[in-house]
Amino acid sequence: MVNEIAQKFSEIYNQKPTVFRSPGRVNLIGEHTDYNNGFVLPAAINKEIFFAIAPNNTNTFRAYSFNLEERAEFDLANVQPSDIGWANYLLGVIAQLQKANYQVKGFDLVFGGNIPIGAGLSSSAAVECGLAFGLNETFGFNIEKLTLVKMAQKAEHEYAGVMCGIMDQFASMYGKQNHAIKLDCRSLEYEYYNLAMQDYRIVLCDTQVKHSLASSEYNTRRKECEAGVAILQKYYPEVQSLRDVKLDMLAQHQQEFDPVVYRRCTYVVSENNRVEAACADLEKGDMKSFGDRMYASHAGLQHDYEVSCPELDFLVEQARQSHAVLGARMMGGGFGGCTINLVKVNALDEFVAQMEKAYQQEFSVQLKTYIAEIVDGSSFVK
Ligand code: GAF
């Protein structure tokens, strides 16, 4: 695909580009904790987007989406949100660079890749991070990686309207081959955990459900968490976010909570605890316990945070019945997308066949599955 994208670039713009790449991500555990200043455990995967870029000595940004086969052109003197959906992720990044006084000169772009869109694998973060990384290199801005991550996240807030946390962009930029990243979303300190799993593989089962609810409900969840924090702050002034909350603090003031807000908060606090415990499991090599925590995470997302859907619940339930699976859960924002499954390497084919059959019978849809390999974050390709 890299070569095809570079070739397309030469065909359209008549010059040779530099190519960069940025990956999508999985998240092993720690869902909806990032914007609560908590912990997450993502990893970059071998589903990626490539960016062929070259300056064009004008003040125009010309873009071609390889996957959609669409072109667009924008005046860099007047960057604003566009009606062209896919272009907004790119324009959002340019706008952030300009806001920080980096001079983005005219450039040409062809971008495309193999991250399924809307599958919860962070294709949007990969687009944002890849362009931020590529422009930083192309124009020699010398911006630190963490600043690029924050710019990419802001692009999502301001040009896609999703008030996302920092996990996806961080994972796309900081991924490391065969490692998961335990990220403290408050301090932004991080630690790599070796995931060179001899006996297991990460298998993603894609429901292919793309709920339009996702972004509005996502922003609602954020508000519900903030409402919970506001109640607790009356009693615990040191509480800044759900990260600072313990389950017994919630229990003590339960009567003051709207029951829905209470369940949201309970989920987040429990999930934060689970990430820490799951990392301890990894250190001990206790994958059985790690898998159990994945199921517990799903149950919380399903019943308390209410961001799952029948297709995701069905797939997790099927996985639970398979002797080949250590743990499974929905992954990402929710309302569709993929489940993540830890599957015994010697039973991969059997697992995939069972899941495909069951999904077909239940929903009359051909299940898509991907075996995720863990790769490095955004980088130069050629
Ligand atoms: C989406 C968001 F972009 C992330 O920041 C994170 O909140 C995730 O949903 C849920 O854990 O991917």
pLDDT 10s digits, 130-144: 999 999 999 999 999
Domain identity same for 180 and 261: no
Amino acid at 169: Q
State the DSSP code for 196. Answer: -
Closest CA to 98 of 41, 37, 158: 158
Q: From the CB of 35, is ligand 1 less than 6 Å away?
A: yes
Decide if pLDDT at 177 tops 80: yes
60 and 23 Cβ atoms separated by less than 8 Å: no
Atom of ligand 1 lying closest to residue 31 CA = 11
Q: How distant is the alpha carbon of residue 312 from its chain centre?
A: 17
Q: Which helix (H) or strand (E) holds 339?
A: strand 336-344
Q: Which of 159, 167, 225 to mutate to test the pocket of ligand 1 (most atoms within 8 A of CB)?
A: 167
For residues 168 and 233, state if they share a domain: no
Enumerate the active-site residues.
Answer: 168
Q: Let me know whether 186 and 220 are in one domain.
A: no
Q: Which residues pair with 176 in a beta bridge?
A: 179
Q: Based on the fold, state whether residues 192 and 212 are members of the same structural domain.
A: no
Which of 218, 275, 301, 305 maximizes ligand 1 atoms within 8 Å of its Cβ, making it the mutation to test the pocket? 218
Identify whether residues 192 and 206 lie together within a single domain: no
3-state secondary structure of 15: coil
Measured between alpha carbons, how far is 53 from 35 in angstroms, rounded to an integer? 32
Please check whether residue 231 is in contact with residue 274, taking contact to mean a CB–CB distance below 8 angstroms: no
Assess whether 207 and 190 both reside in one domain: no
Which pLDDT does position 212 carry in this prediction?
A: 67
pLDDT, mean of residues 345-350:
96
One domain for residues 259 and 356: yes
**Are residues 330 and 359 both part of a single domain?**
yes
Centre of ligand 1 from the C-alpha of residue 333, in Å: 5
Q: Is 34 in the pocket of ligand 1 (CB under 6 A)?
A: yes
> At how many degrees (to 10) do helices 145-155 and 167-174 cross?
140
Dist CA 109 CA 55 (whole Å): 9
Distance between CA 16 and CA 93 in Å, rounded?
Answer: 23
**ipTM of the complex model:** 0.99
- Kindly state the DSSP code that residue 77 receives in the 8-state scheme: G
Q: How many residues does the chain have?
A: 382
Neighbours of 368 (CB within 10 A): 15
With 70 as the cut, is the pLDDT of residue 32 above it? yes
240 and 285 part of one domain: yes
The closest alpha carbon to 155, from 142, 138, 172, 140, belongs to: 172
N-terminal to C-terminal alpha carbon distance within the chain: 13
User: Atom 2 of ligand 1 has which residue's CA nearest to it?
Assistant: 164
Look-up of token digits 């989920």: 267
Task: Residue 156: give the domain boundaries.
Answer: 2-196+376-380
> In the structure, what pLDDT confidence band is assigned to residue 211 with cuts at 50, 70 and 90?
confident
Over 90: is that where the pLDDT of 2 sits?
A: yes
Q: What is the CATH number of the domain that holds 147?
A: 3.30.230.10
Ligand 1 center to 37 CA (angstroms): 12
Average pLDDT rounded to a whole number, residues 239-248: 98
Whether the per-residue pLDDT at 112 is higher than 70: the answer is: yes
* Strand pairing report for 70-75 and 60-65: antiparallel
Determine which helix (DSSP H) or strand (DSSP E) holds 362, and give its type and residue range.
Answer: helix 348-363
Q: How far is the CA of 332 from the centre of ligand 1 (A)?
A: 5
Q: Span 264-281, mean pLDDT?
A: 98
Nearest-atom index, ligand 1, CA of 34: 7
For residue 215, what is the domain's CATH number?
3.30.70.890
> Looking at the 3D structure of the chain, how many domains does it have?
2
Residues 149 and 233 in one domain: no
pLDDT band at 216 (very low <50, low <70, confident <90, very high): confident
Same domain as 88, residue 106: yes
Q: How far is the CA of 32 from the centre of ligand 1 (A)?
A: 6
pLDDT tens digit string along 217-234?
999 999 999 999 999 999
pLDDT at 213: 62
216 and 191 belong to one structural domain: no
